[in-house]
Structure 1
Amino acid sequence: MAKVEAAYRKGPDSKLTIDTDFYDALKEGKAKRTLVEKVHIPLRSGKAWKVPAGHIFRVLVPEGPQVGDFNMWNLHDPREKMWASRTRQLQSAHVSTHDRIWSTLPFLRPMVTIIDDSLAEYGEDKDGGRVHDLLGTRCDPYVNHLLTGEDFDFHCHSNLVRAVVPFGLTEFDVHDVLNIFQCTGLNEDDQYFMKACPAKKGDYLEFFAEIDLLCALSCCPGGDLSVDLWGPDAKDPLSTCHPLEVEIYQLEESALSTWQSPKSPNYKGGHGMQSPSTDWNLIKKAQS
């Protein structure tokens, strides 16, 4: 069967083309980096943290297999946040080294670039499963009640809500996630499936911050997802839960001499609105 081309393809001057040599040179052991903060995320909990532009942060598994649900905002304007669905279209449904996570409209720029992934060689398994997915979203108490009729308080959505409240955000700011270390795919009925997390102690996913960020991560109450969460065999997967950690690194200035923080597309069309009272440039300026 002939390969079907992706709908979103790079043009000759596309912003989707990145300097892979630059990002590869930022990996551990190639550019000098200094650990500036470590964030411990206890099992079944969530934490939020800040990352300045030009820094690196690594999400890692310190003890055993564990899934993490990740959210991200512009530190200075939370209206700009990660856009899972557009990232699926511009990059792929499962992300790895040299993929970027893109922000929502009207900003539409890379918020991070993935520079290293210890699970990159997992590839695609016999069932079509891959890791680090943007296909699904966070577990939440609302869908749990919908499926079971019960109130179960341990969910990624709830963890993320608690994590961002100290930073002035609310439940309405929590959004679709990147499921780090989670193995997922679509079955023969085009339905979403989850498999046991393949991550082991020491595995990590590493990001370069393209803009100043507020990040949040839930240490999924489903643990490594080896236990059914819904259906006739569902049970509390507490025994499969492990903590997560985040390490934040500052790079030496010389490593960033050619780098510039990305800007939003310079769209001036105003969505076809021609009203004299609508000055789209002023609106965009007010949003920046």
Structure 2
Amino acid sequence: MGALQGWKLGWIGVGRMGTPLCRRLLDAGAEVTATDTDPARLASLSGEGLRPAVTAAALAQEAEIILSMVPNDAALLAATLGPGGLAEEIRPGQVFIDLSTVSPACSAQVAEAVAARGADYLRCPVSGSTSTAAAGALTLFASGPEQALDRCAPLLGVLGKETLRCGAGEEARTVKLMVNLVVALTPVVIGEALAFGGRLGLDWEGMVEALSRSVVASPLLAYKAAMLKARDWTPAADLDLIAKDLDLALAVGQREGAPMPLAALARQFAAAYQASGEGELDFFRLATWPERLLAPNRR
């Protein structure tokens, strides 16, 4: 019997990350009803037991716990506060878990609406890629009511390898943006190091291997080492996504008076690639930024 046998779940957003996570819930025995702005996305999962719903409000009529994985603030607000949104039907005893990367301000709006309906709200943005999502190896940053976190612990354990409890409010949102700042800066710094070594005659693949086996090695670099060596920019997380995350963090930093010159520089590099039509490539494409300065036509 699966770990979630008998659990009735709702899901909002079956995109690049939502699809593998829904599969994990289905494989764990949960009953999952889902909705998406593009109903065609539901088709592949329907054959695996997923039940489609027209709106987020419809999910709340059946599910005990509703989860969402959407791309940005606007999508989360539409799914919760818009017409047919979750706030129309969610009620006491239910839990809403959002796994998206959104701003603390947007999340606070959702929290107010969910609280007004007497339900619980968990902010659980995730750290990882599509492959780690499929493997159940995500890290979840969670904040919200402790009793709701305790209740949902078996569910979160199916979605990720560990859940870091961050507080009672929007703390998880800030932690996720903090982590993503380092994620976004990583290929920029690595790119500068690779360009330095390359100018001194080092082999590209050898340099990547050296970094991967040194004190600067990290899980992120381990995920991306093969991609870097092959210069294969098939996206796990694309440049458009990381640019969105940088915009969120920079807006919060500006409001709070936090100095963020390196994040601003990384955002400009991302903007240059977006302007050349490469926003859908993996964000580790940023590691080639020195080549753009030295030889703009090199790919």
Give the TM-score normalised by structure 2.
0.22
Q: Which has the higher contact order (CA 8 A, sep 6+)?
A: 1
Q: Which has the higher strand share?
A: 1
Q: Which has the higher helix share?
A: 2
Give the TM-score normalised by structure 1.
0.23
